[in-house]
Every structure is written in C-alpha cells, then in structure tokens.
C-alpha cells in the first residue's frame, strides 16, 4: 500500500451525517413530520430493510440470521464481522495495490449483481458500508436506503433522492428519476477510484460545486492507474446512465477478469420470514404445518382471503412475485391424488420425493447455484371439493425454485 496522493488532494474523510440528500431534510424538517416518520414510515423502513436482508444470501453481503421483538424493541442478529470498515483500511494505510483493489471490487460487483438479480438496489454504496471479515473478504452492509423493484414508478424509474453526495450518481442529483442498477454501478466506480487512488474522485466543500463536478464527471485518474483501470473507471463514471457500462459488461472487462474468483455459496442457513412476522406482531405460522390427523389441514375464510395478492399487506415487504419463494394453486382433485400427481411430475425432473400424509418434500440431488433445491408441499382443504396446494422453497436458490415450478406446471398440465 502507498499513501501517496497528488497535490491538492487531502486525506480521505468519513461521510458525515450532515451531508445527506434532501430526502432526510424533508422528512425531519417539522416535528409533526418527524412523529409520523417515527411511528409509521420508520417502522415500515426497518421492516423492509430486514426483509431485504433476509432475501439476500450472498457470501459478500452481511447475513441477517434472526429477528426478535418485544413491545418496546426489535433485535436483529447479524453475522459477526471482525475486520472493520474498508474505509478505515484506506484512511489508515492509504491507497491499495492494484491486485488488492481489484479483489475487493470483484467481490463488490458479485454482491451488487446478486442484489440486482433479486430486484434489490442498495442506493448507498460507500466505503463506510463495506466491511471486512476475519479472512479479509468484503461484506456489503446497511440496506436502510435500499429499494425493491415494486418501488419503481410507471416510467420504470426510482424517484427517491437519497444516498451520500460524494458517491451518488448524477441522475439521482438531477431528481428526474433514475435506474437503480445504473446508480449503484456509479457508486461502485467511485469506490474503485478510492481504492486505487486513496482519495475521492469528486470533492468540494461547496455542495453545489460538488454536484456540478459529479454531473459533468470532472475527475482525473492519477498517473499510477494502469491503462485497464483507467478505461474501466471512465466507462463506469459516465454521467449518462444510458451509455454507462453495465454489470454484465464489467464482468467481461479484461482488467476486471484478471484473477477473478466466483463466489462460493454456503446455504446451511435457510431463509425464513417467521421471525420477522413474529417480531412485528404477526405470529401466524408460516412453516408447513404438522398434521395431527390423517386429513388435509383446513383453511378458513380469513386465511384464504390473506392469500389474495391485493389484500395481503406482507407483499409490500417481499420481493416481486417472480422472485417469491412460495406459490399456490387450487385443485378440485382428491388430496391424495394431488400429492401423487405432483410426485409423478417431479420425478422426471430428477427430484427425490418424501411423502407424509398430505405433505411432501422434493429435493434435487444435483446442487444448483446455492446448493440443493428443496421444496416443501402441502395440501389444504378449503371445501370438501376444493383444495389449495402450497409449494415453498425450503432451501436453495429462489430463481431455480421458480424455474422448477414452471417445469412442474408443464408436467401437471391440468
């Protein structure tokens, strides 16, 4: 590492809470607004952040293990990260060697790419939100300003101005709507610049002057940047989001690909929203229920209504439907016949089957992107001649679960 910096560039400074964008100044400008924010918006934002972190299970993202709640407090159990912030590393030792900077950048892009594939946009990527574990691996943290695909407006863009000024993309500042993925990529480019340079690409004490530099991409790469690094940073810090490099293009960049190691997933922790619902006052059991009698579990009218996508408020805090970890359909066939038909349809797809009364576990012995896909199935009785069949991803990759369900539907036909 070297702490060298060109003249006129001071040491890297921590992003202070006073330098936030207008979202927070608007929310906190009046006491009445502050009360409303704390009582409703704040609680919803916490729940959204928790549910988002539950969805993101990536080796380079801080893992949320469990949520607990009391009448006065909500406790979250996070992965224990001992290496501190990447910011502290740069602040103490200065810029990184190119190989080390590239390794961290590769891990960052892996994590951001995974988040985007789940419809999650971080919107506050900065050195202070990048932690290091005991092995020196990068961990993305703090999804408090993240957005889900459901928040995209009719024009296909996000419109909430938020983030940290030195890292924020020009289109976010201009407040005309922005693509969450492109804005995150810009922030990644700022981070890469800092890792290689030891200082920010855009800096000014005057916030208006700072925004002008960002909007016009007024930055200069130091002389020690390699040609490949300069080309990549220039393509990332493109003020036009329409021509800015995308993550698939970054993954194919020669400088980026050097020494690249794909992420290794550990799926021993299963995603469950049960603790989230319980902590926020919803104690309804979300797991496959145990049978006490040899007949399908009955589903009452209120439970049936809650399955309606328009009436179930939990959908506000989960991923978009094509990324959901469960699905349901109805059938007028006898429950035993339903289970048998699903088993027959799943076996040609290579799944091992375990049946118990009107519940079934289907597991793919071939490991996928995040281990072996495991699907829990249960038949519920709504009326003597009508049943609801529920399929949940118990383990594995959510997108693989969706592909499995589409294949299973084709096999079932009717």
User: Which of the residues are catalytic?
Assistant: 124
Q: Angle at the Cα of 325 (from 314 to 113), degrees rounded to 5? A: 100
If one counts every other C-beta atom within 10 angstroms of the C-beta of residue 116, the result is 18
Determine how β-strand 374-383 pairs with β-strand 297-298.
Answer: parallel
Residue 91 in contact with residue 11, Cβ under 8 Å? yes
Which residue has tokens 């495991």? 374
Within a 10 A sphere around the Cβ of 200, how many other Cβ atoms?
20
Q: How far is CA 96 from the centre of its chain?
A: 27
Report the SS3 class of residue 10. coil
Report the alpha-carbon distance of residue 21 to residue 172 in Å, rounded. 10
* Pairwise CA distance, residues 79 & 139, whole Å: 10
| DSSP bridge partners of 328 | 390
Nearest 5°: the CA angle 109, 113, 114 is 120
Chain centroid to CA 362: 27
- The string of DSSP letters for 162-175 reads -S-GGG--HHHHHT
């Amino acid at each position: 590492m070297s702490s060298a910096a060109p003249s006129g560039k001071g040491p890297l400074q921590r992003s202070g809470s006073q330098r936030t964008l207008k979202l927070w100044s608007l929310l906190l400008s009046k006491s009445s607004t502050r009360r409303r924010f704390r009582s409703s918006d704040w609680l919803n934002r916490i729940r959204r952040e928790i549910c988002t972190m539950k969805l993101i299970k990536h080796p380079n993202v801080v893992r949320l293990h469990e949520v607990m709640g009391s009448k006065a407090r909500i406790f979250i159990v996070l992965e224990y990260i001992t290496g501190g912030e990447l910011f502290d590393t740069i602040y103490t030792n200065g810029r990184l060697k190119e190989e080390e900077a590239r390794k961290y950048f590769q891990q960052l892009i892996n994590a951001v790419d995974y988040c985007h594939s789940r419809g999650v946009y971080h919107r506050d990527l900065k050195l202070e939100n990048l932690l290091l574990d005991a092995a020196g691996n990068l961990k993305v943290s703090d999804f408090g300003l993240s957005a889900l695909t459901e928040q995209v407006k009719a024009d296909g863009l996000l419109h909430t101005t938020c983030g940290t000024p030195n890292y924020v993309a020009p289109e976010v500042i201009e407040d005309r709507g922005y693509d969450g993925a492109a804005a995150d990529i810009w922030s990644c480019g700022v981070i890469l610049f800092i890792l290689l340079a030891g200082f920010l690409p855009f800096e000014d004490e005057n916030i208006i002057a700072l925004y002008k530099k960002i909007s016009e991409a007024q930055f200069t790469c130091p002389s020690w940047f390699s040609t490949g690094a300069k080309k990549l940073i220039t393509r990332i810090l493109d003020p036009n989001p329409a021509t800015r490099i995308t993550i698939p293009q970054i993954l194919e960049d020669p400088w980026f690909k050097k020494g690249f190691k794909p992420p290794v997933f550990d799926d021993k922790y299963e995603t469950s929203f049960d603790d989230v619902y319980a902590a926020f006052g919803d104690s309804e059991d979300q797991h496959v229920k145990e049978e006490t009698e040899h007949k399908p579990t009955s589903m009452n009218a209120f439970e049936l209504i809650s399955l309606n996508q328009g009436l179930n408020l939990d959908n506000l805090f989960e991923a978009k439907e094509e990324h959901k970890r469960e699905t349901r359909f109805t059938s007028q066939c006898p429950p035993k016949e339903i289970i048998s038909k699903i088993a027959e349809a799943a076996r040609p797809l290579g799944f091992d089957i375990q049946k118990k009364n009107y519940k079934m576990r289907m597991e793919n012995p071939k490991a996928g992107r995040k281990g072996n896909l495991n699907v829990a199935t249960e038949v519920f009785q709504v009326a003597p001649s009508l049943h609801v069949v529920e399929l949940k991803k118990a383990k594995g990759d959510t997108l693989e679960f969706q592909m499995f369900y589409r294949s299973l539907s084709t096999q079932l036909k009717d």
